[in-house]
Chains A and B, each alone.
Chain A
Amino acid sequence: MSSHSDHAHDHDQGDVPSDMELRGKALETLLVEKGLVDPAALDAIVDTYENRIGPRNGARVVARAWSDPAYKARLFADATAAIAELGFTGSQGEHMVALENTPRVHNMVVCTLCSCYPWPVLGLPPVWYKSAGYRSRSVIDPRGVLRELGLDLADDVEVRVWDATAEIRYLVLPERPAGTDGMNEDQLASLVSRDAMIGVAKVAPPAGSNRP
C-alpha cells in the first residue's frame, strides 16, 4: 500500500504536475477573465501564508507562556484571547485551545477527517500532517507514529490524541527544555519547532547547554 504515498509524494515533489501547472493556470485565467478573482488578491493570499503567518507565531505564544506565568494562566483560561494579545487571530484559529505537555502527559493533534490545523499560529499544515498515514494511524497507534517520528515515550506517560473534528483548533505547549533559564523570549522562541506545537516532537535543549 505504500505505493499510494509514494505516488502522492512524487506529485508533491513537483515531478509530475506539469499537467496541474497547466490546469491551474487555465483555471486562474478563466476566473480572472470572468472577474471572479483579482490576481493581486491571489498574490496577497500567497504572501500572507508564505511570509506573514507561520509557526514563528506559535513559537511567540509558547515563549511568552514559558516566560510569564500570568500569560500562561490566561492561555489556559481562554487561548483565543491570549493568542490574540500577540496579534494572532482569524481564519482557522477562531476558537483556540492550548494543551500542556508535561513529563506525565503528552498531547498530540490530528485531523482524521480532513486537514484542520491552527493557521494563525502554525500556518498551513505540512504534507505529512495531511497524509493518510498520519490521519489513519495517530488515533489507533499514537506511540508507534511518535516513534516513527523520532519520539519514544515511556509507558508511564499518558498520551492524549486530539482529533480536531470541529472548529476548535489546538496548540500544544511543549515542555520548556533544560538549560534555558536565562533566555529571553526571542531566544526561547527560536528553539520552538512546529512539530513540538503539533505534539509530535519535544523542544530540544539549546546547543551547548549543560544537559541534566
Chain B
Amino acid sequence: MNGVHDMGGMHGLGPVAYEADEPLFHARWEARMFALSLASGAWRRWNLDAGRHQQEVTPPADYLRLSYYERWYAARTALLVRFGLITANELAEGTPASGTARQVPPLSAEQVPVGAARGNSTLRSIEVQPCYQPGDTVRARNLHPTGHTRLPRYLRSRAGVIERHHGAHVFPDSNAQFLGEAPQHLYTVRFTAREVWGEAASERDAVYADLWESYLEPA
C-alpha cells in the first residue's frame, strides 16, 4: 500500500535525532511491550509479514505521532483482537471474560533462547529457475498494490542492475494476506543515485534494495 510507512525520499520528516548513550529501552513498558509482542507472536496466528502490515495500516497521522513502541502496542492489540486471542471488551476491561478457557501452554522461558537462536528462515526451495543473473539490467515494475508490499515507491519504474541472487524467499505480498508463502527468487538490485533521484545526486552513489522477482521486469 502507498502508505506513510513507505518513507524513502520524503522530505520534512525531521532530523535524525541522534541520542548519545541511548538506553535499549526508554521505559520499562517498552521492554515489556517488546517481549509481549514476541511472546504473543509465538502462537503463530499471524506471520511476520502480516505483523508488519498491521503497522502499515495505522492511520498516517497516528503512525507519525506515535513513538515506536506505542505503534507496536496499537498493532499488536489489533492483531490479538483480530485473531480472537482476546476480545476488544477484554482489552478495555483488562480482565478475561468470565468462562473463557486458558490457553496452554504459552511460550516458556526455556524456549526463548532456543527460538531466538534458531530464528525463522524465509529461504525456500522452488523448482522454477531464476529469471535473472547478476549483471542483468532490470526495471522495478510500476506496481501499486493496496496490500502489503516490500517494493518501495521511490524505486518503482527505476532501472537497476542485479547485484546478487539470494535464492527463493517467502513472498511478503502474499504471506501478509495469508494467501500462502508463494516463494519467489529474491535479488539485491543496484540503482544508481542519479537513476532514482536525478542529476542533482552524486554520480558515484547508489542505492541497493532486496526485491522479489515479480517486482522486476527486464530492461
Q: Kindly report which residue of chain B lies nearest to residue A52, judged by CB atoms.
A: B113
Cβ contacts under 8 Å, A155 to chain B: 202, 204
Q: Kindly report which residue of chain A lies nearest to residue B204, judged by CB atoms.
A: A158
A123 at the interface (CB under 8 A from B): yes
Contacting pair A37 B8 (CB below 8 A): no
Of B13, B38, B107, B123, most buried by chain A (CB within 10 Å of CB) is B13
Contacting pair B206 A133 (CB below 8 A): no
- What 0/1 pattern do residues 198 to 219 of B give for CB contact below 8 A with A? 0001101111111110000000
Contacting pair A95 B104 (CB below 8 A): no
B203 to chain A, nearest CB (A): 9
A101 to chain B, nearest CB (A): 14
Cβ contacts under 8 Å, A50 to chain B: 24-25, 31
Contacting pair B17 A136 (CB below 8 A): no
Q: Give which listed residue, B73, B154, B170, B210, contacts A164 with CB less than 8 A.
A: B210
Contacting pair A159 B202 (CB below 8 A): yes
B178 at the interface (CB under 8 A from A): no
Cβ contacts under 8 Å, A12 to chain B: 19, 26, 67-68
Q: Kindly report which residue of chain B lies nearest to residue A9, judged by CB atoms.
A: B17
What is the number of residues of chain A that contact chain B, defined by CB distance less than 8 Å?
90
B36 at the interface (CB under 8 A from A): yes
Q: Give which listed residue, A7, A11, A38, A159, contacts B205 with CB less than 8 A.
A: A159
9-residue interface stretch from A62-70, A141-149, A183-191, A203-211: A141-149
B44 at the interface (CB under 8 A from A): no
A28 at the interface (CB under 8 A from B): yes
Contacting pair A43 B109 (CB below 8 A): yes
Contacting pair B204 A45 (CB below 8 A): no
Q: Give which listed residue, A17, A34, A165, contacts B210 with CB less than 8 A.
A: A165
A162-B91 Cα distance, complex, nearest whole Å: 39
- What 0/1 pattern do residues 169 to 181 of B give for CB contact below 8 A with A? 1101000000000
Known contacts A50-B31, A128-B18; is-contact A40 B206 (Cβ 8 Å):
no
Cβ contacts under 8 Å, A38 to chain B: 39, 105-109
A89-B116 Cα distance, complex, nearest whole Å: 8
Known contacts A49-B34, A139-B8; is-contact A165 B112 (Cβ 8 Å):
no
Cβ contacts under 8 Å, B115 to chain A: 90-91
A145-B91 Cα distance, complex, nearest whole Å: 41
A135-B86 Cα distance, complex, nearest whole Å: 33
B90 at the interface (CB under 8 A from A): yes
A89-B114 Cα distance, complex, nearest whole Å: 10
A180 at the interface (CB under 8 A from B): no
A178 at the interface (CB under 8 A from B): no
Known contacts A20-B70, A24-B29, A36-B103; is-contact A123 B24 (Cβ 8 Å):
yes
A3-B91 Cα distance, complex, nearest whole Å: 31
Cβ contacts under 8 Å, A95 to chain B: 121-123, 166, 169
Contacting pair A34 B31 (CB below 8 A): no
Of B69, B95, B115, B207, most buried by chain A (CB within 10 Å of CB) is B207
A13-B66 Cα distance, complex, nearest whole Å: 13
Cβ contacts under 8 Å, A48 to chain B: 112-113, 116
A127 at the interface (CB under 8 A from B): yes
Contacting pair B5 A93 (CB below 8 A): no
Return 9 A-B CB contacts under 8 Å, by A number.
Answer: A35-B102, A38-B108, A41-B106, A53-B116, A124-B34, A136-B11, A137-B13, A140-B8, A163-B208
Q: A2-B15, A11-B67, A43-B35 are in contact. List 13 more A-B contacts (CB 8 A).
A: A4-B64, A17-B29, A31-B86, A43-B109, A45-B34, A45-B39, A92-B119, A132-B7, A132-B10, A142-B205, A148-B16, A163-B8, A165-B150
Identify the A interface with B (CB < 8 A).
1-2, 4-9, 11-14, 17, 20-21, 23-31, 33-38, 40-46, 48-50, 52-54, 89-95, 97, 112-115, 120, 123-124, 126-128, 130-137, 139-140, 142-143, 145, 148-149, 155-168
The 9 closest A-B pairs by CB, nearest first: A35-B102, A5-B14, A112-B8, A166-B210, A11-B67, A132-B13, A24-B29, A90-B119, A44-B112
